[in-house]
Amino acid sequence: MTITKEAAAGQPTRAGAGGPSKGAGRPKTPALKPGRRRANRRENVAGYTFLLPWLIGFLGLTLGPMIYSLYLSFTKYNLFADPKFVGFDNYVRMFTEDPQFLQSVQITLVYVLVGTPVKLAAALGIAMLLNYRNRGTGFFRSSFYAPSLIGASVSVAIVWRAMFSSNGPVDSSLSLFGINIGGWVGNVSLVIPMMILLAVWQFGAPMVIFLAGLKQIPRELYEAAEVDGAGPVRKFHSVTIPMLSSVIFFNLLLETINAFQVFASAYIISNGSGGPAGMTNFYTLYLYKRGFADGQMGYAAAMAWVLVIVVAIIAFILFRTSKSWVHYAGENK
C-alpha cells in the first residue's frame, strides 16, 4: 500500500484540499424521540383547545358583527325590511344634509379636548400628593379610586342629575352666596361643563396608573437635580414629566378613546333627548337615537364606522408624535 508524501507529512490530499466538507463542525439537532413528539403534540392540542372558545367568541361576537355592520353602512335598513344597497349615500348625507350630526361631532370634540386633559391633570396632581408616605395614604387612595368604579353607572348619573337640578344641593349652596343659576341640567351654557365635571370626577383609574409610574422613578434623579439647584417646578419638568412620559401617553390614549364613547351619563341626564338645545347630544347618543329610535340602522352603522376611523386616526397621530416626547428606560436617542 503506497502512501503519498503529502499524506505522510500530514498535508491534505487533493480530495480534502478544499477544506472540511459541508456540515462538518455543525452541531446536529438531535431527533426528538417518539414519546417527546407525542408530548409536544398533546401540548399544542391543549393550547389550541383552550384558545378555541376565545377564537369562536372573537369571530362570532366581534369580527363577524363588525364586518356585517360595515356592509349595513352602505345600505338603507330599518330592521323590518331587507337591506337595500345605497352605496355611499349614508356617508354623503351625514356630512352634507344632517346638521344634528355636525353638532354632535362638535359637542363631542369639545368634551374630549377639554375633559381629557383636565381629567389627566387632576389624576396626576392627586397621584403626586398620594406618592408621599403619610398616615392614611391607603385610605385616601381607595377613596379617590372609588368614583371610577361607579362613575359611569346609571345610578350615579341619576344622582348627578338630581344634584345639579334647579332645586338640587349645588344650586342651593350657590344661592347662599347670591349665585342663582336655576339648574345646570337645563342651562345651555353650563350643561357641558357639568358633563366634563362628571368625567373628571372619575379620575381614579388614571390616578392609580400615574401613582404606579411615580413609584418607579429613581430617587437619585431628584437628588441629582437638587444638587444642581433645581426647585420643585424644575424637578417636575425635568425629571417627573420625562420619566413619566410613557405612562402619560398610555393614559392619554386610553382616556381619549373612552371620552369619545360617552353615552350613559348623557342619556340619563338628558332623558335621552340630548337637550337642552342638543348640547348633550353626544356622538354615541345621536348614533343610538338614529339607529334604535328612528330605525335607521344603515345610517347608524355608517356613523359607527366614521367613529372607528376617527379614533383610529387619532391613535395613529398619538403614536407617531409620541416618538418626540415619550421616553422609555434604556432607550438611546
Q: Spell out the SS3 assignment of the chain.
A: CCCCHHHHCCCCCHHHCCCCCCCCCCCCCCCCCHHHHHHHHHHHHHHHHHHHHHHHHHHHHHHHHHHHHHHHCCEECCCCCCCEECCCHHHHHHHHCCHHHHHHHHHHHHHHHHHHHHHHHHHHHHHHHHCCCCCCHHHHHHHHHHHHHHCCCHHHHHHHHHHCCCCCHHHHHHHCCCCCCCCCCCCCCCHHHHHHHHHHCCCHHHHHHHHHHHHCCCHHHHHHHHHCCCCHHHHHHHHHHHHCHHHHHHHHHHHHHHHHCCCHHHHHHCCCCCCCCCCCCCHHHHHHHHHHHCCCHHHHHHHHHHHHHHHHHHHHHHHHHHHHCCCCCCCCC
262 in a domain, yes or no?
yes
- For CA atoms 57, 58, 62, 67, the dihedral sign is negative
pLDDT band at 47; cut points 50, 70, 90: confident
* Rounded Cα distance, 328 and 213, in Å: 12
302 in a domain, yes or no?
yes
Structural domain of 104: 93-324
Q: Which residue type, as a one-letter code, is found at position 257?
A: I
State the total domains in the chain.
1
pLDDT band at 328; cut points 50, 70, 90: confident
Residue with cell 341640567: 185
pTM of the model: 0.81
* Section 256-268 average pLDDT: 94
First-last CA distance in the chain: 70
Residue with cell 403626586: 128
Among 19-33, 47-61, 86-100, 189-203, the least confident range: 19-33
9 in a domain, yes or no?
no
* Rounded Cα distance, 122 and 206, in Å: 9
pLDDT at 310 over 90: yes
42 in a domain, yes or no?
no
Q: Which of 19, 20, 16 lies closest to 4 in space, CA to CA? A: 16
130 in a domain, yes or no?
yes
Higher pLDDT, 117 or 79: 117
pLDDT at 8 over 50: no
CATH code: domain of residue 235 = 1.10.3720.10
Highest-scoring range by mean pLDDT, 2-6, 13-17, 109-113: 109-113
Q: Which of 307, 329, 146, 157 lies closest to 246 in space, CA to CA? A: 329
**Per-residue pLDDT reduced to its tens digit, 224-248:** 999 999 999 999 999 999 999 999 9
Beta-bridged to residue 84, according to DSSP, are 76
